Chain A
């Protein structure tokens, strides 16, 4: 860099002139931060949305086909905790032509980036319709809510995109931390506002019951409301917390992060399970809210309105009372346990008398070469209550657009628990990984682990035991 060594700076003058530039600069357009009001009547928007929908779904399907092997290939003999759905196996992210997982793992991040070899399935997964965004609910949930409540959650502009084989079992089991001896108390049913009382009276406290009622009460939201700015046919009663967190778990419904603008930069969010929430100290993949009370209150006020308090005010915000309703919302959520893991001891380690050799080998990799336990600490419910930046952008050139999503660095993201992990595909905060084997290959590359095939298989076997 010839010349730079001779530089002596007049920093004061330069800084002053830059301040002057900034003061004179035109700011970015307001709709880069704020949600604009619709420009067309609902009838026109709906007609256009419905006409576009087949193309929208074809575009997303081609993204999925490019990224993944979507075939139905379950792991023999491995079911989710309720025994209602098999767990899918194998690496489903497709490799670029000519590459193998081992050749990729042998390259430096720079080489992978410069040669454009990061598998597309490892990059951020777009929302099915990025420009519109919002919550998208799987058909199983939509149908059951229609049957039980007569409430309509079906959007006229988009459908859920992932095959049913890569979503959690439905309805998911419910485990109460106050009654481990009872096991699953769901009776194979989905909790709704119509059945919650008769299902849960005698099982939970009055405070928890009131929290449950609130968690199942529909309130207006960005796409489900009574204004012309909605994506359901009729004037919607709204949406409930457990419409995505079915039975306090997840049905893989997705939306977009409320924490990023402009719209094209907002990454997809896969619904997280609420199991074991009692041990989680930070909430929201990027917001790091410090209590479930804060989170529950904030979701009601703004986040289900995409982090936009102004839109919430316009469409009918619910403002739960902090010392009464918010506390009850929190106490109900904190009463939900993980599924049983009979091979784990009280500190989250495998019991050698119950685990098989492959699982024990997987635990050794987890604690050692695999570096998994640096964040997923067994004794802390496989959490560390921190956020971490995996710096995936070392492996690909940022700024490219995939089906409307600008692929940008994820930045710090909350550590998610691995307890009961086989029950909650897809994986990562945006659901970009479909199987546990995908997760192993992802972290093998991102953390430069150079795991052997045996070590990878052992890790998957270990995670299935969690």
Chain B
């Protein structure tokens, strides 16, 4: 699993190749007054509202991945959970740096703190241990990566900044790989243990 590292993204992000990969946007969604490098083509680092929301959500999520990954590396019981946590901390650390540079180039604010969702997740994980920790962490990872995949697809179709769209396009396959890994681990954890009825059915 350690072989699954992020590819160097900036090497792939010349503006021309970015457009060829993510396609030309729908001008109906361009920000009024956005600078253009050619008619209809947003200039580099010209962000729209969707780009802003994307940077905010991905930065917040990426920071949480690093913190929670480090936590999983320390507290995980199953080796697969420890390894996964290690990889999340490493991969998302790199991606966070790349996104931070793009956000700075586009003058987009980056949140530095965890959002309420991930604060709560961290608090719950800090209070749990053993197999309980493993399952809670990995189920959180599955849900986070499902949403992240959809968020990246949304940015590819709805963003404006060619570099941010290229970032989403380059990282999406890695997000989907992470999701597959997390799902596999969740499946292993669930099938290895004796499985009581889920809470909804026990009520």
Q: Residues of A at under 8 Å CB distance from B?
A: 1-22, 24-26, 28-29, 31-32, 36, 38-40, 44-45, 47-49, 51-52, 55-56, 59, 62, 126, 129-132, 229, 262-265, 397-406
Task: Indicate if the CB atoms of B128 and A13 lie closer than 8 Å.
Answer: yes
Within 8 Å CB of A397, what residues of B? 173, 177
At the interface, yes or no: B72 with Cβ under 8 Å from chain A? Answer: no
A24 contacts which of B116, B169, B196 (Cβ < 8 Å)? B116
Minimum CB–CB distance for B146 against chain A, Å: 10
CA distance A253 to B27 in the complex (A): 23
CA distance A68 to B77 in the complex (A): 51
Task: Indicate if the CB atoms of A49 and B140 lie closer than 8 Å.
Answer: no
Task: Indicate if the CB atoms of A52 and B40 lie closer than 8 Å.
Answer: yes
A3 contacts which of B78, B116, B196, B199 (Cβ < 8 Å)? B78
6 contacts between A and B (CB under 8 A): A13-B128, A15-B199, A32-B153, A56-B24, A129-B24, A129-B26
Within 8 Å CB of A3, what residues of B? 77-80
Minimum CB–CB distance for A174 against chain B, Å: 37
Task: Indicate if the CB atoms of A130 and B27 lie closer than 8 Å.
Answer: no
Within 8 A of A (CB), among B132-161: 132, 134-136, 139-140, 143, 147, 149-151, 153-154, 156-158
Task: Indicate if the CB atoms of B157 and A264 lie closer than 8 Å.
Answer: yes
A9 contacts which of B41, B121, B143, B195 (Cβ < 8 Å)? B195
Minimum CB–CB distance for A214 against chain B, Å: 30
Within 8 Å CB of B158, what residues of A? 29, 31-32, 36, 131, 262-263
Within 8 Å CB of A62, what residues of B? 20
Task: Indicate if the CB atoms of A28 and B132 lie closer than 8 Å.
Answer: no
Within 8 Å CB of A262, what residues of B? 150, 153-154, 157-158
CB nearest to B197 among chain A residues: A11
Task: Indicate if the CB atoms of A26 and B136 lie closer than 8 Å.
Answer: no
- Interface core residue of B40, B169, B194 (most chain A CB under 10 Å): B40
Task: Indicate if the CB atoms of A12 and B199 lie closer than 8 Å.
Answer: yes
Q: Residues of B at under 8 Å CB distance from A?
A: 19-32, 36, 38-41, 48, 50, 53, 57, 77-80, 115-117, 120-121, 124, 128, 130-132, 134-136, 139-140, 143, 147, 149-151, 153-154, 156-158, 169, 172-177, 188-190, 192-196, 198-199, 202
CA distance A229 to B29 in the complex (A): 11
B79 contacts which of A2, A16, A403 (Cβ < 8 Å)? A2
Within 8 Å CB of A25, what residues of B? 117, 143, 147
Task: Indicate if the CB atoms of A1 and B188 lie closer than 8 Å.
Answer: yes
Task: Indicate if the CB atoms of B23 and A40 lie closer than 8 Å.
Answer: no
* Besides the known contacts A14-B132, A49-B27, 12 further A-B residue pairs in the complex with CB atoms under 8 A apart: A7-B77, A8-B194, A9-B131, A11-B193, A12-B199, A20-B120, A24-B117, A29-B154, A31-B50, A39-B32, A48-B27, A401-B172
Q: Do A32 and B151 form a contact, CB below 8 Å, given A17-B136, A398-B173? A: yes
A7 contacts which of B21, B121, B172, B193 (Cβ < 8 Å)? B193
Within 8 Å CB of B130, what residues of A? 7
CB nearest to A5 among chain B residues: B192
Within 8 Å CB of A405, what residues of B? 23
CA distance A357 to B80 in the complex (A): 58
Q: Which are the 9 A-B pairs with shortest beta-carbon distances? A: A404-B23, A51-B39, A48-B40, A264-B157, A399-B173, A263-B157, A48-B27, A52-B40, A7-B131
Q: Do A51 and B38 form a contact, CB below 8 Å, given A21-B143, A399-B172? A: yes
Task: Indicate if the CB atoms of B136 and A18 lie closer than 8 Å.
Answer: yes
B156 contacts which of A18, A55, A401 (Cβ < 8 Å)? A401
CB nearest to A58 among chain B residues: B20
CA distance A132 to B27 in the complex (A): 9
Q: Do A130 and B157 form a contact, CB below 8 Å, given A32-B150, A39-B28, A48-B39? A: yes
CA distance A399 to B6 in the complex (A): 14
CB nearest to A32 among chain B residues: B154
Within 8 Å CB of B177, what residues of A? 397, 399
CB nearest to B156 among chain A residues: A264
Within 8 Å CB of B153, what residues of A? 32, 262, 264-265, 406
Minimum CB–CB distance for A123 against chain B, Å: 13
CB nearest to A127 among chain B residues: B23
CA distance A45 to B27 in the complex (A): 5
CA distance A11 to B128 in the complex (A): 12
Task: Indicate if the CB atoms of A24 and B120 lie closer than 8 Å.
Answer: yes
Task: Indicate if the CB atoms of B172 and A21 lie closer than 8 Å.
Answer: no
Task: Indicate if the CB atoms of B20 and A403 lie closer than 8 Å.
Answer: yes
Within 8 Å CB of B140, what residues of A? 18, 21
Task: Indicate if the CB atoms of B192 and A132 lie closer than 8 Å.
Answer: no
Within 8 Å CB of B176, what residues of A? 398-399
Within 8 Å CB of A263, what residues of B? 154, 157-158
CA distance A55 to B189 in the complex (A): 50
Task: Indicate if the CB atoms of B172 and A15 lie closer than 8 Å.
Answer: no
Within 8 Å CB of B188, what residues of A? 1, 4
Within 8 Å CB of A16, what residues of B? 199
- Interface core residue of B29, B147, B188 (most chain A CB under 10 Å): B29
